[in-house]
Amino acid sequence: MAGNRFNANQDHGVGVGLRIPHYDHIFREKPAVDWFEIISENYMVDGGRPLAMLDRIMEQYRVVQHGVSMYFGSAQAADLEHLRKLKRLVKRTGTPWLSDHLCWGSVDGTYSHDLLPLPYTWEAVEKTAARIREVQDFLEIPVAVENVSSYAAYTQSEMTEWEFLNEVVERADCGILLDVNNIYVSSVNHDFDPMEYVNAVPAERVAQMHIAGHSKYEKYILDTHDHPVIDPVWALYARAVDRCGPTPTLLEWDDRIPSFDEVWAEARKAERYLVAAQEVGAR
Question: Which chain residues interact with other proteins by CB under 8 A?
Answer: 21, 41, 44-52, 69, 74-76, 79, 82, 104, 106-114, 116, 119, 121, 123-124, 127, 151-157, 189-191, 219-220, 222, 255-257
210 is a contact residue toward Fe ion (CB under 5 A): yes
Note whether 179 binds Fe ion by CB under 5 A. Answer: yes
Closest approach, Cβ 223 to Fe ion, in A, equals 8
What is the maximal distance between C-alpha atoms in the chain? 54
CB 238 within 8 Å of CB 249? no
Least Å distance, CB 186 to Fe ion, is 12
CA–CA separation, 5 vs 46, rounded Å? 32
Total Cβ atoms within 10 A of residue 78: 15
Q: Phi, psi at residue 151, to the nearest 5°?
A: -120, -5
Under 8 Å between Cβ of 17 and 267 = no
59 interacts with, out of other proteins, Fe ion, none, CB within 5 to 8 A per kind: none
**Partner interacting with residue 45 (select from Fe ion, other proteins, none; CB below 5-8 Å by kind):** other proteins
What does 210 bind: Fe ion, other proteins, none (CB cut-off 5 to 8 Å by kind)? Fe ion
Region of 15-23, 27-35, 124-132, 175-183 interacting with Fe ion (CB under 5 A): 175-183
109-116 — which CB contacts under 8 Å span 24+ positions? 109/79, 111/69, 113/68, 113/69, 115/68, 115/148
Q: Are the C-beta atoms of 253 and 225 separated by less than 8 Å?
A: yes
Task: Verify binding: residue 100, Fe ion, rule CB under 5 A.
Answer: no
Q: Which residues bind Fe ion (CB under 5 A)?
A: 179, 210
